[in-house]
Structure 1
Amino acid sequence: MSNELAVRSNTTDLVIDPTQSAFTEAQLAALQQLGIDDAPKGDIDLFFHQAKRTGLDPFAKQIYMLGRRTKVKVWNERAKRQDEEWVMKYTIQTGIDGYRVTGHRLARIAGDDIAVEGPFWRGADGGWDDVWLDPTSHPLAAKYVVVKNGVPYSSVAMYSEYVQTYSKDNRQVPNSMWAKMPANQLAKCAEAAAWRKAYPNDFSGMVLEDAVQIIDAESTSVTSERVPSKKRGTAGLEEALGITKEPEPVTEPEQPAIEAPAADLGALQTALLGAGIEEWPEQKAFLVGRIGHDIESPQELTEFEIGGVLDFIANGEPAE
């Protein structure tokens, strides 16, 4: 893939220069606004490498680095058993605009004649439609075609294979974007796959953000929860900048109440015991101090609140 970067005459401090070997201070500061302020330096360096290698602009949302809490198996030495806990996993993903920019750039460099057809959607009644009009259901498949030098590269994306889900009430349900705009999400998956067929060598390793399902090799869950952007510290960026400072207290964004699965409550109890917080009065005081409201039992905690407490304990910060 060409290392050509989209450099315009009205450049700013956020434009990645071809001579750079790492993000500048101004670029790192801007990345804080994209929700990766807690990422380790190694992940940030890898993100820079991918942005420069692909020539995609992270500040135009063509390429992303996203943090997701993922369940993994861990050995509980104290209880002599294997438990589950949430850990933060960062992945580098490409937006659909990044696919389009890259595809047309490759065609321009190679002198290829490019045309596109679609997207098209298919429901249970059969036949391909160029618009999805049923707001009460999702399409079963979407199709997109990239025509390169007269040769069609067609790709069909099946809803059952691409839909992103999370666990709720012991079943898998579509996440907010797939529940709200299933036709749009599925069409992007089909389009990205068509570009990969047309230019397989150049798109190798690029992951579409709307299609990714994070499955760790040792994960106990086939889905993961994307963590909303929030100011929980800037350790990764400050390390990259070579500075240290105490994080300022901030207010957590409001989150929808999601009932916590029993497995999450078990992981919370294990984490509290491991931190030396054994009696309920002490546990309650600690939990209330973290979530900011009163509770009478752990069952009142949401999945998001439990995840925040587990992250806090896992980061090695002292219990309050």
Structure 2
Amino acid sequence: MANEVMNVPQGVTARGIDESTWSALKNSIYPGAKDESVLMAIDYCKARSLDPLMKPVHLVPMYVKDAKTGKGEQRDVVMPGVGLYRIQADRSGNYAGAKEAEFGPDVTQRLGEIDVTFPQWCKYTVCKMMPGGLVVEYSAKEYWIENYATAGRDTTAPNAMWKKRPYGQIAKCAEAQALRKAWPEIGQQPTAEEMEGKTLDVSEYRDVTPKDHAIAHAHPEYPADEFSANLPTWKKYIEAGKKTAAAVIATVGSKYTLSEQQIKSIKDLEPSNASN
């Protein structure tokens, strides 16, 4: 029987992915994931010079909630795995290994409808070789109850993985935190192990970069007639040495938006600028 030709979506070939690689990604690495989600993972790996077949990142189904509207939806989010942070630490050339994970005392607690036994905390220590040859230790201590993934949004019971591997899962979270502390340049994004089963609030990831139009309209424009009336007064203060042009601009700018011409007019009140 002839092999069935796999339907490769548009854009895969342009990314340098052949049909066999796409098949492996869809059927083995990210089984069941949507095409667009797999493409997101490919683009993430390409940007960081990573092999997607090594699965350095995960596609985590998350309930993404908009804090402004209160509405949410389930979607795949690309998240680095702790394995990616290990790769990046090793690539730095100064990764000097790690110590065996330390665990706190076992705790048994009722979560949902079941009793769960888990280590209270895990401490993980990684070692970094400094330029002078000194090895510095970076440790992170993470608590199980603050990190575990629930089996659903309507229950406090842990999911199958956290119930089956309470030590292994919390160790991954502690290791990821320790690696971020030692190598902050690898990124500060939480790993898939840390974010599994949690809700992603988009307000926490909003763009806080000021926009030009936002700055321009942060305050009302300074009325031209008031500006002309106050200009002689500012001139007296500046000539008397009581204020500088910069101080006047800062004071007025805290309440009004000055135009470029108004700012220039104030600067021209400085004696050093009189000839400009």
- TM-score band by shorter chain is 0.5 to 0.7
3-state SS of 1:118 partner: coil
- With normalisation by structure 1, the TM-score equals 0.47
Is this contact kept in 1: 2:116–2:163, CA < 8 A? no
Is this contact kept in 2: 1:144–1:156, CA < 8 A? yes
Partner of 1:161: 146
Distance 1:55 1:36 in 2: 25
Q: Deviations over 1:116-160 (max 9, x none)?
A: 1121101169xxxxxxxxx97201110111111211111111112
Q: Deviations over 1:66-109 (max 9, x none)?
A: 334x3758xxxxxxxx9977x331111223332222211222xx
Classify 1:91/1:202 alpha carbon distance in 2 versus 1 (closer, same or farther; 3 Å): same
Classify 1:89/1:113 alpha carbon distance in 2 versus 1 (closer, same or farther; 3 Å): closer
Shift of residue 191, structure 1, vs aligned partner = 0.7
2:136 aligned partner, one-letter code: V
RMSD between aligned residues: 3.1
The count of corresponding residues between Structure 1 and Structure 2 is: 173
Classify 1:124/1:29 alpha carbon distance in 2 versus 1 (closer, same or farther; 3 Å): closer
Is this contact kept in 2: 1:36–1:66, CA < 8 A? no
Classify 1:37/1:179 alpha carbon distance in 2 versus 1 (closer, same or farther; 3 Å): closer
Partner of 2:81: 95
Partner of 1:35: 31
Match of 2:159 among 175, 185, 190: 175
Distance 1:115 1:216 in 2: 35
Structure 1 unmatched ranges of 5 or more: 1-19, 74-81, 126-134, 219-320
Partner of 1:304: none
3-state SS of 2:178 partner: helix
1:87-236 to 2 correspondence within 5 Å? Answer: 87-107=73-93, 112=94, 114-123=96-105, 137-149=117-129, 150-167=135-152, 171-205=155-189, 207-212=190-195, 213-217=198-202
Shift of residue 44, structure 1, vs aligned partner = 4.1
Classify 1:123/1:56 alpha carbon distance in 2 versus 1 (closer, same or farther; 3 Å): farther
3-state SS of 2:47 partner: helix
Shift of residue 161, structure 1, vs aligned partner = 1.6
1:95 aligned partner, one-letter code: G
Report sequence identity in percent.
24
Distance 1:167 1:46 in 2: 25
Distance 1:36 1:182 in 2: 26
Classify 1:55/1:171 alpha carbon distance in 2 versus 1 (closer, same or farther; 3 Å): same
Partner of 2:52: 58
Distance 1:165 1:37 in 2: 21
Classify 1:143/1:25 alpha carbon distance in 2 versus 1 (closer, same or farther; 3 Å): same
Is this contact kept in 1: 2:59–2:79, CA < 8 A? yes
1:121 aligned partner, one-letter code: F
Shift of residue 113, structure 1, vs aligned partner = 5.4
Partner of 1:282: none
Q: Deviations over 1:20-74 (max 9, x none)?
A: 745333332222212254243xx44432221123333332332222334x3758x
Shift of residue 183, structure 1, vs aligned partner = 0.7
2:75 aligned partner, one-letter code: K
Shift of residue 187, structure 1, vs aligned partner = 0.3
Is this contact kept in 2: 1:31–1:37, CA < 8 A? no
3-state SS of 2:193 partner: coil
3-state SS of 1:46 partner: helix
Deviating runs (4+, > 4 A) in structure 1? 82-85
Structure 2 unmatched ranges of 5 or more: 1-13, 108-114, 130-134, 204-276
- With normalisation by structure 2, the TM-score equals 0.54
Distance 2:136 2:155 in 1: 42
Classify 1:117/1:72 alpha carbon distance in 2 versus 1 (closer, same or farther; 3 Å): closer
3-state SS of 1:204 partner: coil
1:68-87 to 2 correspondence within 5 Å? Answer: 68=62, 70=63, 87=73
Classify 1:195/1:165 alpha carbon distance in 2 versus 1 (closer, same or farther; 3 Å): same
